[in-house]
Structure 1
Amino acid sequence: MSAVTALPGAEAYVATAIDLHARPSANFDAKLHETVVTLLKAAATGPVTQANSLGAEDMVITHLINAHQLPIGIFVLDTGALHAETLTLLDRLKAQQAAHPHAPLTVYQPQQQAVVQFVAREGEGAMYRSIALRKACCGIRKLEPLARALAGQAAWVTGLRREQSGARADVPLVDRSEQESTGRLKYNPLAEWTWGDVWHYIGVNAVAYNPLHDAFYPSIGCAPCTRAITLGEDFRAGRWWWEDEAAKECGLHVKKEEGIAA
């Protein structure tokens, strides 16, 4: 739950993620400029789309796309297993993007029959039984819809940051690792941002965000695979917490030529 603070004789108030985390870097303005330049490059690449997971970073990127009227489409993967709070934010994003025709929003869902067959065969809690089953679930709910979302795109934009995990420590602003196999570039305009930078931008610009962030969910995925973290835990400790740290990716951001998660 959110942090509660009270002074003697005063009413308690609930601290939000903005209160707790909004601490810009000393060079934040330079980072913001670099991010906008990176988005301008992405927009000039050709057909390009932003993968919006409805997390804090992606909502910042969508806000920047809208603020600069960039012709970058946006897509969301509705896996069929998202938190109610995430779905509420998705509805809000749909209404928001209806006013921004330069950045149309498309929602992709998994093939329903594939989901039904998987659950009937393996059960609702299959992801807890083995990494192979969890990745199979991710494959059906995320990777197959992702392939449809990226079809025909020259590039895509993500909210990956180097600070998020050890596996992402070397994330570049422009990732060319997929170009040989798919012909696509991946742009990571927030690669150098800190968590404090993200929340500073959200606070200053009144960016809509998932209220689960106020309840100590820094990284939010499907409901069965996401929990809140506690003080001192890694940023992504709440994702697939029952697995070995090295396995903690769903496959959306894997460097194929190296065979490692990114």
Structure 2
Amino acid sequence: MATKITKAKTTKKQPAKKESASFKSKLTRFLFKAVLWFFGTSLFFVVLFKFVPVPFTPLMVIRGIENKVTGKEIYFSHDWEPIENISINLQKAVIASEDGTFLVHNGFDFKAMQKAYKNNERGRRIKGGSTISQQTAKNIFLWQGRSYLRKGLEAYFTVLIELIWGKERIMEVYLNSIEMGNGVYGAQAATEHWYRKDASSLTKIQAAGIAAILPNPRKYSATSSSSYINNRKTKIVRVMNHIGTIKY
């Protein structure tokens, strides 16, 4: 009697493998395009802002949203001035208070960062050790807060602006964009707000007053200041006196 021999059906896994490979290929292409887009876009804006005044910063937008959500009266002042119209006293004051090695470092002050890390580990007042270049990169291109992602992007943008902008442009953008009072951004707006005058005519002590409040410009006042701020002003002026001619 003849017996039928039946072949066992085998399941083909090839289509599933093809689908998996196709998904990985699409994901790789997407990530590659996203990275290219990020680098291209970031480079475009860094080059653009080398020549064009920065109209607003992420912090300005955030502050505006905060005020609307809380129902507070919105006060906003921001005027762009070329660096030649900003008193050399203010330039020296922010170097004295924020970044003593600004003119010579390549964007990072590793000694200051190490010192800040040790102080923070000991539970002392938190200090970032950020240079003016790093602060500018953060204020113009990024959000506030502390995270490894933001710090990594901050380092990336710091390298870019150091290479493409140079020191003078970094200082110009910094002095025109940072928060110098509640709703007050930039040297001209700050000088008008605190002293009712133009940024070009700031005296040493007035410039030191603005520089002294930068760690928390919404809390401190450049005029009728607390003893803490007055002490900072005195120290800043003392350091300013040792800064020679600024050569960018």
Same fold by TM-score greater than 0.5: no
Structure number with larger C-alpha Rg: 2
Structure ranking higher in helix proportion: 2
Q: TM-score of the superposition, structure 1-length normalised?
A: 0.25
Structure ranking higher in strand proportion: 1
